[in-house]
Amino acid sequence: MSGVGSGAQGRPGDQTPGLFDVPEPPAAPALGAVKAAAVLPVARVLLETPVPHLDRPFDYLVSAELDDAARPGVRVRVPFGGRRLNGYLLERVDEPEPGVRPVPLAAVVSPEVVLDPDVLALARDVAERYAGTVADVLRAALPPRVAKVEKEEREAQEPFDPGLPEPGPWSLEDGGAAFLDALAAGESPRVVTSCPPDGGAGWATRLALAAQATLASGRGALLLVPDARDLERLCEVLDELLGAHNYARLSADDGPTPRYRAFLRAARGDVALVVGTRNAAFAPVRNLGLVSMWDDHDSSYLEPRAPYHHAREVLLLRAAQAGCAALFASAARSAEAQRLVLTGWAQELSVPRSTLRDVAPWVRAAADDFAAQRDPLLHAARVPRIAWEAAKRALESAPVLVQVARTGFLPALRCERCREAARCPKCGGPLALARSGGDPVCRWCGTYCRDFTCPHCHGKRLRAGTVGADRTAEELGRAFPGVAIVRATGADGVRSVGPTPALVISTPGAEPVAEGGYGAVLILDADAQLAPEGLRVGEDALHRWFAAASLAKGREAGGVVVLTGHASPQGRALVRWDPAGAAQRELGERSQAALPPAVRSAVLVGPAAAADRFASDIAAAAEGLRLVGPTPGEEPEEHRWILFFDHAHGPRVTSLLRRRKGLGSLRKDPVVHVRVDDPRAL
């Protein structure tokens, strides 16, 4: 067995006896005589285990043999419970905790210091905020070890002078140039901005210039993007502005070896700039001066594993910890980012309306009164007359982007007579049509349904429920003969198109950038994007529309955006090109209803009796808590509870949730999953 954890690494309140205090296990006996290190012979180790009640440091003895290698921050192996576990050496001290007889470390896995003290402090803050374990946070923060990378010869570091940046696209915003000057002067401004439309490249230039200004002040910078496509765009700008060897790129999509190599460059201090996707938020950047994020609303920033943290919140914690600058930029505006502005945590940089009218495209709604009078069949047409005319004019000199809601040909079918969704008679899954002239097939089990009979009205014929990208491409190809058709879904991997006329059919999030911008952008299926139920459906749809519309040319260059579907608040915000106003309205509605992000939330899911007991314990101990439930979970005999609480009570509630998880783990109660501030769980 291992030694007993000291508990000295916790917060001041952690040692106060309370309802959810986890009792200490008995001390372990020493396993024979080992020659201990002469100085600081006790190592405090955090185990790589998700078990909640083991989420604390344990004391181990450092032998004289491992004295030199056992440095704080290295990976180690230790005996624990009759087996060996991996862990991280946090610190070395003179004496173990009273009553503890530590056993020796088994091995130092690697001499590389991978756990920076600042990253450890950040991991503890993230675990506290999301009621998780530090080990789970570090699993996301630290990439897996690749031994051969550690043996590679380090590249010689040449002197690097980033220089002072020119304002570039920042000159459009009121205060944009002053923001860069403040970064270059070593100050720490915190900014939220909605980037004006520019054909799709300006946001990357903005982030790169902010990083350059920060580097010029002698500090480090961290830039986050949602996915590999955006990372490629940002890296192209950085390669030209700063050089490919002067930053590290951290992304799981690059593979284990390049990712670990880039991580070591940052950990060793070889580079002061790190760019990457979600988990790069924990990158060990020294003397951090700026954290920046593009499109914080994107769901890719949500960690799919416990503790289900969001990269935006990690950067907010990191900015507070380091006292550094922060930049949150996007084409639209999330309710969370707007809350940062309203609370005074960040200032807003915006483009004057007079300038915005010139650089933004002309946005037209197909459902407005003028369009309805000109097109009597508007209510029945998927591509209304106004969209056809806009596409026809734009195709004379430029490509046209068509955003559709779904991939496939006809991804959803309905009964032609009663309009009920067509379901598979075998498993109940939705029926779809993969190609023209094909047979309906179940999207769940793959069974072909050649002789469909509606169970509701006994009809035999099917009609389209939704139209996918493939069917749209076929229809537009017939309508515009001789025009090239480009499919750009997530599977196609099309990142950019040229300036020549073409119809680009894309799903949300996969839109390629057009050289010089699109002459027209058609947003189809707007009603379908707003149809699902959910707290963030309208906000999600508006972000997708702004992302697509920002790829169009400006009004002066003839750029136009056509939004189909019925009138909606989201559509009106797009027509006005007012992302901040839309976010303000969304946040106001959430505040009135006491829903996130105006308040915080936690979702408890587990076996009925265990979940009910867990919720009851938290409700009895926490103040300012609103408990909703129970409702049935996804599994049989499973209950789901939702907890709503004010931001002011957040630290207390999440601390109670952590303690209660640890107590349940120690008692070996059935597992109750806890998801704090996770929009997918609501």
Q: Which residues contact 489 (CB under 8 A, 6 or more apart)?
A: 407, 469, 506, 507, 510
Mean pLDDT of 240-258: 94
Exposure letters 262-287 (e unless 16+ CB within 10 A, then b): bbbbbbeebbbbbbbbbbbbbbbbee
Query: Terminal CA-to-CA distance of the chain, rounded, Å?
Result: 41
Question: Of 37-46, 116-125, 507-516, 661-670, which range is least confident?
Answer: 507-516
pLDDT of residue 467: 66
- Residue 647: count other Cβ atoms within 10 Å of its Cβ: 12
The SS3 call for residue 366 is coil
How far apart are alpha carbons 45 and 68 in whole angstroms?
16
Please, are residues 363 and 555 in contact by the beta-carbon 8 Å criterion?
Answer: no
Of 568 and 374, which is predicted with more confidence? Answer: 568
Q: Which of 550, 571, 567, 547 is nearest to 559 (CA)?
A: 550
Please, are residues 469 and 406 in contact by the beta-carbon 8 Å criterion?
Answer: yes
Percent helix / strand / coil, the chain, rounded to 5: 35, 20, 45
- For 543, which DSSP code? H
Burial class (CB in 10 A: 0-12, 13-18, 19+), 26: exposed
Question: Of 272-286, 433-447, 500-514, which range is least confident?
Answer: 433-447
How far apart are alpha carbons 242 and 164 in whole angstroms?
11
Kindly tell me if the per-residue pLDDT of 14 is higher than 50. no
pLDDT of residue 405: 79
How far apart are alpha carbons 74 and 45 in whole angstroms?
10
Mean pLDDT of 525-534: 79
Kindly tell me if the per-residue pLDDT of 160 is higher than 80. yes
Mean pLDDT of 382-398: 87
pLDDT digits (tens, 9 = 90+) for 23-62: 554 444 444 467 888 999 999 999 999 899 999 999 999 9
pLDDT of residue 430: 83
pLDDT of residue 158: 77
Question: Of 478-492, 494-508, 640-654, which range is least confident?
Answer: 478-492
Rounded percentage of the chain residues whose pLDDT exceeds 70 = 90
The SS3 call for residue 85 is strand
pLDDT bucket at 510, cuts 50 / 70 / 90 = confident
| Residue type, position 181, single letter | D
pTM for this model (two decimals): 0.86
Mean pLDDT of 309-318: 97
How far apart are alpha carbons 338 and 616 in whole angstroms?
34
Q: Which of 301, 245, 232 is nearest to 273 (CA)?
A: 245
pLDDT of residue 461: 80
pLDDT bucket at 457, cuts 50 / 70 / 90 = confident
How far apart are alpha carbons 105 and 309 in whole angstroms?
32
| Structure-token pair, residue 98 | 């009273």
- How distant is the alpha carbon of residue 344 from its chain centre? 23
pLDDT of residue 148: 94
Question: Of 351-355, 378-382, 640-644, which range is least confident?
Answer: 378-382
Kindly tell me if the per-residue pLDDT of 17 is higher than 70. no
Sign of the torsion formed by the C-alpha atoms of 7, 13, 16 and 18: negative
pLDDT of residue 428: 80
DSSP 231-244: HHHHHHHHHHHT-G
Of 415 and 203, which is predicted with more confidence? Answer: 203
pLDDT bucket at 466, cuts 50 / 70 / 90 = low
Mean pLDDT of 273-295: 97
Q: Which of 21, 272, 262 is nearest to 143 (CA)?
A: 262
Burial class (CB in 10 A: 0-12, 13-18, 19+), 451: exposed
How far apart are alpha carbons 5 and 49 in whole angstroms?
14
| Structure-token pair, residue 386 | 């106004």
Kindly tell me if the per-residue pLDDT of 492 is higher than 70. no
- For 202, which DSSP code? H
Please, are residues 294 and 203 in contact by the beta-carbon 8 Å criterion?
Answer: yes
Q: Which residues contact 252 (CB under 8 A, 6 or more apart)?
A: 143, 259, 277, 279
How far apart are alpha carbons 43 and 128 in whole angstroms?
24
The SS3 call for residue 285 is coil
User: How big is the chain by its Cα radius of gyration, in Å?
Assistant: 28
Kindly tell me if the per-residue pLDDT of 155 is higher than 90. no
pLDDT of residue 12: 36
pLDDT of residue 533: 76
The SS3 call for residue 149 is helix
Give the number of C-alpha atoms closer than 13 A to the C-alpha of residue 16, restricted to the C-beta side. Answer: 7
Kindly tell me if the per-residue pLDDT of 378 is higher than 50. no
Please, are residues 90 and 72 in contact by the beta-carbon 8 Å criterion?
Answer: yes
Mean pLDDT of 424-441: 77
pLDDT of residue 27: 44
pLDDT of residue 23: 53
Mean pLDDT of 421-426: 82
Question: Of 358-362, 374-378, 530-534, 622-626, which range is least confident?
Answer: 374-378
Of 479 and 521, which is predicted with more confidence? Answer: 521
Segment holding 650, helix H or strand E = helix 650-667
Please, are residues 612 and 619 in contact by the beta-carbon 8 Å criterion?
Answer: no
Mean pLDDT of 132-149: 95
pLDDT of residue 629: 87
Share the mean pLDDT of the chain. Answer: 87
**Backbone φ, ψ for residue 212 (5° rounding):** -60, -45
DSSP 286-312: TTEEEEEEE-TT-GGGB-SSTT--BHH
Mean pLDDT of 648-657: 94
pLDDT of residue 491: 67
Residue with tokens 């049935």: 632
Kindly tell me if the per-residue pLDDT of 377 is higher than 60. no
Of 459 and 677, which is predicted with more confidence? Answer: 677
How far apart are alpha carbons 476 and 463 in whole angstroms?
19
pLDDT of residue 26: 44
Kindly tell me if the per-residue pLDDT of 661 is higher than 80. yes
Exposure letters 620-639 (e unless 16+ CB within 10 A, then b): ebbeebebebbeebeeeebb
pLDDT of residue 645: 95
Sign of the torsion formed by the C-alpha atoms of 378, 381, 387 and 392: negative
Angle formed at CA 673 by CA 670 and CA 679, multiple of 5 degrees: 165
pLDDT digits (tens, 9 = 90+) for 82-119: 889 999 999 999 999 888 888 999 999 999 999 999 99
